[in-house]
Amino acid sequence: MGTALRTIYTIWYREWLRFWRDRSRLVGMIGQPLLYFLIVGQGISAAMAFRAAPPGVELSYLQFMYPGILAMSVLFTSIFSGISIIWDREFGFLKEVLVAPVPRWGIAMGKALGSSTVALCQAAILLALAPLAQIHLNLPLIGQLLSVLFLISLAITFLGVAIASRMETMEGFQMIMNFLVMPLYFLSGAMFPLANVPEWMAALMHFDPLTYGVDALRHLIFAGAPPQALTFLVHFALTTDLLVLGAMVLVLGGLGSWFFSRQI
């Protein structure tokens, strides 16, 4: 067990150092959340009147979309982190690690934790921008939001690890990711309410695991909202959201570790 823990820590530390020493990624970590918030959120909010909220519920579209922007940030950062596996394979580092007398699942876990740490740093910037969306957060709430975002990031990173472990080229990985990422995000309820979509789309949204992550974030952010607003904003119990996220981490973590361990 001690060897596994040292392996996880070493790979996690390597992923963190690679991120910290890459100035372009640091710039991107700051710029990407600003892009999501100022252009995606503010732009769409300015382009349309948010008329889906029920009468008596004072809610802007930017406030509605803010939890979705948080989820979007960790989704994109986490799922594309799997490309580092293909990069390491091409440059020989992965081969050296795989022949070392350490558990392979520990390597996959370290990579997932390292990528999730980077995603949380980006999400923290968006949390600092919450007052611009007229959303007020306190320290306990920030801790709860980061915990949910960590679960989302860890599950999505394991998905990226599982797919990258079976891919041979970066181009193939990016094609598969683009095919998965957009449906995952658009069917999560991040951009439009679940109650106002066709039945076939609502069914797909119920099968999208990211839907439960966005729903949990809305539970926490709008916990003090009136009952009619909560009925409009959230669709599952917070316990259900957390159970689904936890199950998603376990299932995708098992798949990611298994596929990674089967590499030659």
Report domain extents, the chain: 2-261
- Predicted confidence (pLDDT) at residue 243 exceeds the cutoff of 70: yes
CB atoms within 10 A of CB 264: 4
pLDDT for residue 240: 94
Q: Are 130 and 171 in contact (CB under 8 A)?
A: no
Q: Are 121 and 32 in contact (CB under 8 A)?
A: no
**Least confident segment among 42-56, 72-86, 103-117, 192-206:** 42-56
CA dihedral sign of residues 246, 190, 64, 124: positive
Q: Are 176 and 163 in contact (CB under 8 A)?
A: yes
Q: Are 190 and 70 in contact (CB under 8 A)?
A: no
Give the integer Cα–Cα distance in Å for 114 and 87: 16
Instruction: Quote the DSSP letter at residue 264.
Output: -
Residue whose token pair is 């969306």: 133
pLDDT for residue 40: 65
pLDDT for residue 207: 84
Question: Burial letters for 160-188: b for 16+ Cβ neighbours within 10 Å, e otherwise?
Answer: bbbbbbebeeeeebeebbeeebeebbbbb
Quote the pTM value.
0.86
pLDDT for residue 216: 94
Give the integer Cα–Cα distance in Å for 178 and 166: 16
Average pLDDT value for residue range 144-166 = 88
Mean pLDDT for the chain overall? 80
pLDDT for residue 33: 65
Average pLDDT value for residue range 6-26 = 76
What is the band of 245 on the pLDDT scale with cuts at 50, 70, 90?
very high
